[in-house]
Amino acid sequence: MEFPAALFPSYFGAGPPQEEGGPAPVAGWGEHGQVLEAGLGRRQAETTFVPRRGGMGESWEPADAAAVPLLPPNASCWVPSVAPQDILYRGVLRRKLQAGKYGAALDFTKQLSHFFVDHPEDVFGSLGQLLHQNFYLGNSKLRVSVRPAVTMPSPTPPLAAAIPSLCPLSSLQRQARDCTIRMTALREVIDRLEARRSCPRQHLVPRLRWFSHLSRDWLFEVPLGLLADCVHEDLLLQWASLLFDDSPTGGALAWLPPKDVGARTGRLVYPGGQAMNHLCILPCGVSLGREGRGHVALPLADTPDFQDVVLEELPCAQGSPAQFELNGRIRQVAAARVDGEDFVGVRSDYHCGVWSVSGRTGATPTPLQVIRTSVPASCLTVSPHLPGELAVCTQSGAIYLWNVETGLQRLRHDPQTMFFRDDSPWRWSDFTAHPRVLSCADRTGLQCLDTRAPERCHFDLFKVGEEAGCQQGERVVLPMYMGRAYSSQHLVTTQFSVYVLDERLPLVPVLKWAHMMKAPPLFAHLTPGGPGRSHKVLLGTSRTQELLLLQYRGEKRGSGVSVGLGGSRSACQLAGPPQKLHSIASCLQHLPAQLPHRHCLLQQRLGAPAAGLAAALQEDGLRESLLVFQLSEAGDCPPEPCASSQPSPAPQEAKRPEEPCASPQPSPAAALRYRRWMKALSKGCGDPPQRTRPRTFGQKRLFTRKELEEPSAPSTLHGQARQRLRQAMQDGGRIQRWDPPPPALPQPLEPAVGDTDPLSTRLTASWGWDWERWWEERTSFNMAQRQQALRERRRRQKRARGRHSLSASFTSSITYQSELSELSDAAPPPLSPGPPREV
Amino acid sequence: MDGFLEEEEEEAAVAATKKKAAVGSALLPALHLPFLPPHLYQPASSHEYKLNFKKSKEMCLSYIQDAMLQKQWKKAAEFLTFYIESLEKDFSTEYVSPSEMIWRIGTEILCHHSRSSMKEFNSFTEQMKSLGVKRYLKVCLEHTFHLLCNGLIDEAYQNLSLSESWRFGEQTVIQDKEMKLIKAYKGLLDYYNWSKQKNILLEHGQDGFEDLSVEQEMHSYFRKAAVNLKEIIKIPGVWDLFVKCYVDLLEFYGDHNEARQVLNEYAYNSKFPANPNAHVYLYQFLKRHGESKKSLVSALKILHEVVPSHELMIDFNIMLQKSKKRKRRRLGLEVIFAVLDYAGWKENVKAWSCLAKQVKQIVISEKHLDWIQQEWNSRKDWWPAFHFSRYSAKRNWQENESLSYEKALVAGILLGKGCKYFKYVSHQGCKAQVKRFRILKKFVNKHNPVYLRISGLSDCSVQP
C-alpha cells in the first residue's frame, strides 16, 4: 500500500499526442528509460542506480518444444474462419483498381452470386415456382400439346389475365409460346460468356441484357437493392472484424486456482460446443478429476426496470464436466475470488451470467443470475472485493454495477467517448482499490467513478495524449485491474504499448513499454509473485496468437535498513527481457505427418485466432512452473505447459540467463498427446460433412432431345461401357482410363481384315488407350517405327491369312499395340506438334 | 546498385500509396494497427516481386526479433551482423530508420549476451552515436543510464559532459527535452559529488581539520548542481529525485524560503501531475523545520483529499485524534474510515487499531455518536460484506489475532452483538481463554444500544 518514495523522472505534458505513430518493430528494445537512485543511503560510499527497464528478472524457460494440447479437440466445432481472400476482390479488376485508387476492394459480386447459387430457394423460391411453367429448358422447338387443364402450362396470374377464358386452340398455343422463355438459348449465351472470362462487361449480350432488365425487379424474392445492401453491410462487418475484432476482449478462458495452497486441482472454465456456447468447468490439475452431474434451481431475482438490461432465466447444468448450454457464443469469461468463493462471469453478445463455484472439491458450480441486454455487451468484470458484484458495459455506452442481490445500477450512459471523438462503441469497466469506485474505459482513456455519486465524483486515470506520452492513433485496447499484485495498479494495453498506472498518481504511467506485438493484445493475465519476487504479466493477441511474458516489480526494498524518510517501496520497474511463449500453431510441426490437404486443414484450424488466455502457477518445492493455457477460436482447448522453469530462489542473485537449449523435439509424453489429439481430431471431424443427398437434375433439362435420342440398336460396346459406368458409380470410384484390364477388353466393332477405314482404326486405337501414338503414326512422325510396324503387320497378316476369324484379327491387333508400346517405352517419341487432345 | 535504387524508389512509392490508402479507403480497420500486413488492406503492388531486398530485410528482422524474444542472444547477434547490410542504403522513408533499429537491437543484445563486456558496449554505442544525428542525444542518455546502472559513475559523468556540449543545427522539441534531461542528470551527479565532499568535510571538521580546496570544490559542485537542477524542476513533470536533491542543497546552505517555494510549486502547481510524493516532501520539510501544527494539518489534509489511502494518513489520524479541537477529531475519524475503504488496508492492524481506538473513545464518551453514524451511513451497505464476513473472521482469527480483535471491536459497535464477525471472533477468543476478548464481549454487550442508534433503529425499537 505504500507509495514509492521516489518515482522515475518523466516529463508531463498536456494535450493530444505529439509523437507520430508508426510501425516501430523494435521500439521496445535497447532502452533503460530512466534511472533512479537505488542505494538511498547518502552515507554510503557509492550511489547505485536502478533502471526502469533492463534490470534482472527471473529466468523462465519453456518446458517443452511446443504447446501441448490439454483437451481433446472440440469435435463439433468446425467452421473455418473467414480469410481475406474470401472477401477481397482478386480478379481482373485488381490491376485496374490499382491503377486508379488504392485500397482493398470487397468482392461484392462474388458474394452475391454465391448467395444466389447456395440459397436458390431463398432467392428465387416462390417466384421460381410460379414461373416454373414459363421457362422451357428443352432444346427443341416449343410445342404445346393442347389438352387444357392437363398439360398446358398454367399461366401465372398476370399472364392469365391476358388469356381469355375461351379461346381457339391456335391462339392458346401462340399465347403459351409467347409467355414461355427458352432457357437453353440463354444458357448457351452464359456459357459463351464464361468461356470469354477475360471481359465480362464489354460484350454484354443483348439477350441477357434484355432478360436481366426484364426480370430484375420481380424475379428476386428479396428486392435486389435491399439484398445487396444487406450483403454489402455484412461484408463490411466481416471485413472489419477480420482486421480487428474486439468482441473477445478479456478472453474466454479462466483458471480458478485451488483453494488450499497445497492442493493441486484447480478448475478451468472455457467455452466449448458447436457454437462455443457451452460453458465448461473442468477440474484440472495434476490429475484430471471427474465432476458429478449438477442440477440447478434458483429463484429469479426481481426484474429491474432498465431498457437496456433484463434478467433472464437461468441455464441448467448438464453432464460432466459441469457444462451449461447457453444461447449465445461465449465471448468472455471473467473470474475473481472473494471470501474463498470463485465468481465466474460469462459474457455473450446479448446475455451475461454469473456463476459461483465454491472452493470445495466436487462441488457443483451454481448459476446465480443472468441478464439480457438489448445492445451487445462489451465487457464483464467480476469484483475481487465483494461477493456477487460485477461490472457490465454495453456498446450503447452504458456502464452498470451489477449486484446479484440488489440488482443493476446504471452508472453512466454516454454514447460519446470521454476525451476525444472516437467511433468505436467499445466500453470497458473494471474494479479499483476502492470497492465503490469503478474504472470505466473507452478507446480514448480511463476514468474512475464513484458508484455512490457517479455524476459528480470521478477522475481521469489514463488519457490517450501527451500526458502518458502516447503516439498518434494510439487507442486503449484492454484495461485490467492488477489488484492481486498491488492494490492500486492497473494495466492498460494499446496497440503500441503496455502501461502500468497507479490510481494514486493518475495520468502519469508508472511504467510504459512498447510491446512490439503484431496485433493489439486483447488478453492479459497477471500472476502475482510473492514478496521479493517479480510479478508475471502475460499478454496475448487474438489474430496472431502471440503470447508474451513480462515481469515487473516494485517491491519493498531494504525493510531492515531504516531509511530516514517515509516509504521504502521502490518504483515500478520492468524486470528482465520479455519472453515469447509457444502459441497453438507452434505444435503443427510436431504433429504426425499428414496428407497435404489434411495438413492444410490442420494448419487452418491451429492457426485460428486465439480466444483466451489463462495461467496457473504451480509450486513444487524449489521448482516452480507456470502453466499457460491458450484457447483458440475453433474451441481447441488450451494447450498446456507453455512455460515452466526453475526460477532462482533469490531473484536478485540471478545470474545472466543462460541461452535456452532449443530442444527441437517434444518430449515423448508430449508426442503421445499430439498423436492422441490428432486421432481424436480425425475421428471427430476429419473432413467437413458432405451434403447428405446430392442434388439431382433431370437429364432432360440438361440435354437436348437429339442428344438423348437412344441409338437405334445399342451395340455390345455401348452395353459394356454402360456396365462399366454403372459399376464405377456403384463403387463410388471413377473411370480413370478407358482401357480395361486386358482380359476384359470390350469387343471392338469388327473390322474386316484389310479394312483401312481410318475412322474405325482411330476408334480402335482410342479404345485401346493408344490413340496418341496412333496420331503420331498418322502424322508420319516416327517414320522408322511406323515402317517397322507396318512390316510387322504385313508379316503377321501373311501368316494369319488362312484363318479368317474375328478373334484372331483382334489378338493380332493387340500384339501390335503392345509391341508398339514396348518400342515407345524404350525410346520416348518426340512430341508431335500439338496433337488434338482426346476429348 | 541501380536495381537497389530502383527498388528504393519503388519502396518510397509504396509508402506514399500507403499513406494515401490511409486517407481514402473505407476498408481500413477501426483501430490504427501498426503491424497489419499491407496485403490485408491494399491490393498487391504489381512491382511487388521486385522488392526482394526489402522483403529479405524484413525477414531478417523478424528472425532477430524471434531469437531475442526467446532469449537466444547469440543467434540474434549472428542475424544482426547480416541485418547491418540494410544500413548500406538507408534512404528509406520508414518511420524508424534501420540505424535506430540496429542501435536498439544491438544494445539489447549486448546487455544480455553472456560474453559481452562493457568495453564492447562502449565502442558499439560510440559507433551508433555517429550513425544518426537525430538520435545522438538519446543514445548518449541511454549510454549514461547503462554506465550508471553498472556503477561507472565517473564515466557516466564524462559522457554527460561531452553530450552536453553537442550542437547540431536547430534542435527539435524532443532534442530539447533530451538536452534538459542530460543537464539534469549531470546536475544530479554533481549533487552526489557535492554530498561526498560534504561528508568528507564533516568528518574532517570533527577532527578540527579544514581543507580549503575541498570546501571550494564542494561549493563549485553545489553551483553546477543547483543551476541544472533548478532548470529541470521548473518544467512540468515528475522530478522526485531532482527536487529532493535540490531541496537538500538549499537546506544545507540555509535557503529555507527558496526550498519551501520550490516544494510548494512542485506540490500545488496545477500544471504538474498530482504526485503524492510532492505533498509528502512538503510535509516532511515542514515537519523538519518544526512548523506549526496548523500548516502540517493543512498539508496533510490536501494529501488526504488527493490520495485518501496514503500511508501518511495513519500519522495524520493519530495527530488529529490527539487534537483538542472537535473539528479535527471529526476529520480524524473521516480520514481513518476513508483509509479502511481501500482494499490495500483491509488487513492492516495499525489502521484498524486507530479506528477501534477512536470509535471506542466516542462510544465511551457517548458524545458525537452522530459522527460515526454519518460515516457509517455511506458504508453500511458494503462494509459488512467487505470487512465483516464470516470468512474473513475465520481467516483473521487464524492469521492475526490482534487484527481480529480490533476488527471485532469495530464490528461489534457498528453492527451490534449479532454481527457474524463479532460473534465468531469473540466466541473463539473466549474459547481460547484470552482475557481481552472477554472484556471485548462485555464492552460490546454493554454498549449495544449505541449500535441501535448508529444504525437508526433506536426510534422504532424499545431500548433494553
Domain that holds residue A441: 59-69+248-288+312-555+571-646
The count of domains in chain A is: 1
Q: Closest approach of chain A CAs to the CA of B446, in angstroms? A: 31
Q: Closest approach of chain B CAs to the CA of A663, in angstroms? A: 12
Residues of B in Cβ contact (< 8 Å) with A656? 112, 114
Chain A 470-489, residues with CB within 8 Å of chain B CB atoms:
473-475, 477, 483, 486-488
User: What is the full DSSP assignment across A15-84?
Assistant: SS--BPP---TTTTSS----EEE----TTSSS--EEESEEE-----B-SSSS--B-S---TT---PPP-H
Task: Answer whether residue A833 is part of any domain.
Answer: no
**B1 pLDDT more than 50:** no
Q: What is the pLDDT of residue A634?
A: 75
**List of chain A residues with pLDDT < 50:** 40-43, 92, 99-102, 146-168, 285-311, 557-567, 638-663, 687-694, 740-755, 803-839
Mean pLDDT of B142-154: 91
Which of A50, A104, A240 is the closest to B42 by Cβ?
A104
Residues of B in Cβ contact (< 8 Å) with A448? none
Q: What is the pLDDT of residue A807?
A: 41
- Nearest CA to A340 out of B252, B393, B300 is that of B393
Mean pLDDT of B434-442: 87
How many residue pairs bridge chain A and chain B with CB atoms within 8 Å of each other? 285
Helices (H) and strands (E) in chain B, counts: 23, 1
CB contact under 8 A, A475 and B32: yes
Task: Answer whether residue A305 is part of any domain.
Answer: no
What cell numbers appear for B226 in the block?
Answer: 543547483
Q: HSE (CB half, 13 Å, CA atoms) of A194?
A: 6
Residues of B in Cβ contact (< 8 Å) with A18? 173
Distance between CA atoms of residues B447 and A170, nearest Å? 113
CATH number at residue A621: 2.130.10.10
CB contact under 8 A, B112 and A656: yes
CB contact under 8 A, A104 and B146: no
The torsion angle over the Cα atoms of residues A790, A796, A798 and A804, rounded to 10 degrees, is -120
Residue A588 DSSP code: G
B164-200 pLDDT per residue, tens? 888 877 778 888 899 999 999 999 999 999 988 888 8
CB contact under 8 A, B237 and A9: yes
Task: Answer whether residue A710 is part of any domain.
Answer: no
Which of B37 and B245 is assigned the larger pLDDT?
A: B245
Which of B403 and A649 is assigned the larger pLDDT?
A: B403
Alpha carbon of residue B141 to chain centroid: 21
CB contact under 8 A, B277 and A7: yes
**B251 pLDDT more than 90:** yes
Residues of B in Cβ contact (< 8 Å) with A26? 61, 65, 96, 101, 104-105
pLDDT band at B260 (very low <50, low <70, confident <90, very high): very high
Task: Answer whether residue A545 is part of any domain.
Answer: yes
Task: Answer whether residue A233 is part of any domain.
Answer: no
Q: Closest approach of chain A CAs to the CA of B259, in angstroms? A: 17
Task: Answer whether residue A155 is part of any domain.
Answer: no
Distance between CA atoms of residues A481 and A502, nearest Å? 10
Residue B27 touches partner A, C-beta closer than 8 Å = yes
The Cα-based distances of B327 to B333, B362, B371, B456 in angstroms read 10, 14, 11, 23
A403-415 pLDDT per residue, tens? 999 889 999 999 9
Q: Which chain A residue lies closest to B272 (C-alpha atoms)?
A: A12
Q: What is the pLDDT of residue B391?
A: 92
Residues of A in Cβ contact (< 8 Å) with B96? 22-27
Q: What is the pLDDT of residue A379?
A: 94
Residues of B in Cβ contact (< 8 Å) with A477? 31
Distance between CA atoms of residues A512 and A688, nearest Å? 46
Residues of A in Cβ contact (< 8 Å) with B275? 7, 505, 508
What cell numbers appear for A148 in the block?
Answer: 387444357
- Whether the Cβ atoms of residue A53 and residue A575 lie closer than 8 Å to each other: no
- Whether the Cβ atoms of residue B437 and residue B412 lie closer than 8 Å to each other: no
Percent of chain B exceeding pLDDT 70 equals 85
Q: Closest approach of chain A CAs to the CA of B55, in angstroms? A: 14
Q: HSE (CB half, 13 Å, CA atoms) of A324?
A: 28
Q: What is the pLDDT of residue A820?
A: 40
Task: Answer whether residue A384 is part of any domain.
Answer: yes
Mean pLDDT of B149-164: 90
Query: Longest Cα pair distance anywhere in chain B, in angstroms?
Result: 102
Task: Answer whether residue A277 is part of any domain.
Answer: yes
